Amino acid sequence: MSLRWKIWLAVFGSVTLLFGVTGWILQRHAIDSATRSLEEEMRGSVRAYETVWQARQEGLGTAALLLSSLPNVRAAFGTQDAATVRDSAAELRGLLSEGLRTRSFFVVCDPRGGPIATIAGEPPAMGTWPTVEAGVRQKSGFFVRGREIYQLVLTPVMVDSARGPAMISLLVAGYAEGERPEQLTGGEFVFSVAGEKVDRPGVRLDRPLLGLEGQPVGTLSIFRTPGPAERELEDLQKELIWMWAAAMGLSVVLSFFLARRIVEPIGALDRAATAIGEQRYGERLPVTSNDELGRLAATFNSMSESLEAARGELIRQERISTVGRMASSIVHDLRNPLAAIYGGAEMLIDSDNLAPAQTKRLAGNIYSASRRVLEMLQELLDAAKGKTGEFEVCRLREVVDAAVESQETEHIRFRVEIPEELELPMDRARMERVFVNLLANAIEVMPEGGEVAVVARAEGKGVVVEVRDQGPGIAEEVRGRLFQPFTSFGKRNGLGLGLALSRQTVLEHGGDLTAANAPGGAVFSVKLHG
């Protein structure tokens, strides 16, 4: 994805997110305001309904107390005779108002709640009604029978006896609040008994219905749908959509010009940086402004000039460094064969009584060392001409034996465990020098003598050759940079190039050279591929 599209998407996404969050906050605020308004209206409706309940209760309680206080009523009720009570029912109904007669019921019961006679209304069929305790003047509350809810007022009819006031009958007055919980009163109220669930769309407000003993026996739920508030929310949503569309159009235009203002200078910078990467250091950018992009172009031009100057200096220094590295490498590689030539020649000059076998051996060493010098000089000449050594299939044991033979000394024992059949393609002379260097390092760290073991094993499609010594191991301060050029530790005349050159040779053979400490010394591992 191009930078122009990224900038456009960033601006577009930011504007979308900003308007989305703003619209959500406005809509949430409108919904909360509408909900609070509805809840306030619902609480007002509940308070109005509670006023109706209170008026009903007071009307029923007043009428019941009036009836229970009349002497003739108490005389009729005291007989507890159904016929007598029914005969007086007409007279009692006349004492009640028309509203109480038509919308409520009055039932005369014995002290245990058993119905005797109905004075007014149509009460539900009951085996027994709730009663009151001794000393209670009147009790009111909601009563549930099955799934029906009633508002009741219980009034005891009392008389004086030899043992004090006594209840001769119970007057039950009440209203039926709802025949079934699913039915709405006025389309907004739902009565439900305790434990039943009522679901309606819209905002809901519950008011518990308390029984005769003060315990919850049911719930009055009021439901309201948003109505006009919902339409206002729809209008708000439409306005937000139009505002969002206008903002999107503005963001498209703004992002186009912003992307053009930013991307074009960056594109020019990218092309100039590509030219620098292709080593065309003369590339320059036009400086057309004094802002950050203009200063960036000026800085880039200054950097290009510095790189161009530094490149010339680097080429000069590299040429000098190359000459130095070549000289160091030649000195390092020629030291061992020249030392062998020098030592053999010195023994031939200083010793007059050498045995023919010793003379022949010294002459052979001088010949081998001189041959290695010639091979190194030829390799140097080939490298200068761009030539590389030729690989040939060699027996690994022969290459290692040749390296061991050139390093034999009296105080060092060599143990070579390499199968005769192991053959690998390699540049024989260069690999021999790798093992010569590893053996020479092992000998140098064991001035008191010891054993150097060269062990080879097959590993996958290749071979691993381990050169183990019994020296002090690899020092901690040089372990991490052991194979870097000019890293030397504990050598008086070392240049620190041997391991670096050896590893480079192994890498050119498709393998690797690693080192590690082991119990009793160090281990150098040469991994070669077959």
The whole-number pLDDT of residue 463 equals: 93
* Dist CA 450 CA 448 (whole Å): 7
Residue 70 φ/ψ region, left for φ over 0, alpha for ψ in the -120 to 50 degree band, beta for the rest: beta
DSSP string, 424-448: EEE-HHHHHHHHHHHHHHHHHT-TT
Place of tokens 């308007």: 19
Q: What is the mean pLDDT of each run of 10 residues along the chain (530 residues)?
A: 63 71 74 74 77 82 80 74 71 64 79 83 83 85 84 86 77 72 49 78 80 86 68 70 76 72 71 76 76 77 79 68 59 72 80 79 81 71 60 92 87 92 88 90 90 92 92 84 70 63 86 90 90
Residue 515, amino acid: A
Cβ atoms 133, 89 nearer than 8 A: no
CA distances from 360 to 336, 341, 351, 489 (A): 20, 14, 14, 37
Residue 407, amino acid: Q
Both structure tokens of 227 = 């109505």
162-189 in b/e burial notation, b at 16+ Cβ within 10 A?
A: eeeeebbbbbbbbbbbbeebeeeeeebb
Both structure tokens of 6 = 């990224």
Both structure tokens of 173 = 């007055």
pTM equals 0.40
The whole-number pLDDT of residue 452 equals: 94
Please name which of 291, 361, 373 lies closest in space to residue 330, comparing C-alpha atoms: 373
| Sign (positive or negative) of CA dihedral 403, 408, 412, 414 | positive
Q: Residue 45: how many CA atoms within 13 Å on its side-chain side?
A: 21
The whole-number pLDDT of residue 180 equals: 38
Domains observed in the chain: 3-175 (3.30.450.20), 277-325 (no CATH), 389-529 (3.30.565.10)
The whole-number pLDDT of residue 455 equals: 95
